[in-house]
Amino acid sequence: MEGRPVRESLSEIAEFALPIYANPLGYLLGGRIMHLVDLAAATAAMRHARRSVVTAAVDSMTFLHPIRIGQLVTLKSSVNRVFRSSMEVGVKVIVEDLRTGGILHTNSSYLTFVALDDDTGRPVEIPPVLPETADEHRRYAQAQERRAQRLELKRKALLHEKAKG
């Protein structure tokens, strides 16, 4: 199966932080940011796989800066690595105050998606990702380390669940 370069999965979503998604302090709800992160990641995953995908895991999400209502939220995503039918997607969230020009990186997240066969709904193999730049090669290597950590956490959770009976 022929691979696809990371650049083919690059996706960007931007939207204003609207009052409907505000918490009582006037900041964008964390859940709204999580929703946008999932959408941005799914877009990159589908661009790479060229088929339906489902979210299998979301790594931790730390919010570095609050996002005020009225600011522009931009999410940039791309596939970091493919592991047969699953893939890791990285998402970077940036907020811009259009009045001052100030830009802040608010958080980054890694999500795992699984590509599905349209007829059976079962996982299906997808093309490998082909990193080209130094950053893409670094993210590719780090994705393997994060995957090992995810699999170990999953193993421990399954053991814990089994012990509970």
Whether residue 126 is predicted with pLDDT greater than 80 in this model: the reply is yes
Whether residue 86 is predicted with pLDDT greater than 80 in this model: the reply is yes
- Strand segments, DSSP code E, in 17-125 are 53-58, 72-82, 86-96, 103-115
CATH class of this structure's domain 4-164:
alpha beta
* Domain boundary assignment for the chain: 4-164
Cα–Cα distance for residue pair 86/115, rounded to 1 Å: 6
Whether residue 165 is predicted with pLDDT greater than 80 in this model: the reply is no
Beta bridge pairs of residue 55 = 113
Q: Amino acid identity, residue 23?
A: N
82 neighbors 48 (Cβ within 8 angstroms): yes
Q: Supply the pLDDT for residue 117.
A: 96
Please compute the mean of the pLDDT values over residues 1-23 and round it to a whole number.
96
> Sorting pLDDT into bands at 50, 70 and 90, what band is 3?
very high
Q: Supply the pLDDT for residue 1.
A: 84
> Sorting pLDDT into bands at 50, 70 and 90, what band is 115?
very high
Q: Mean pLDDT, the chain, as a whole number?
A: 96
Please compute the mean of the pLDDT values over residues 143-155 and round it to a whole number.
92
Q: Supply the pLDDT for residue 60.
A: 84
90 neighbors 65 (Cβ within 8 angstroms): no
Sign of the dihedral through C-alpha 134, 139, 144, 148:
positive
> Sorting pLDDT into bands at 50, 70 and 90, what band is 164?
confident
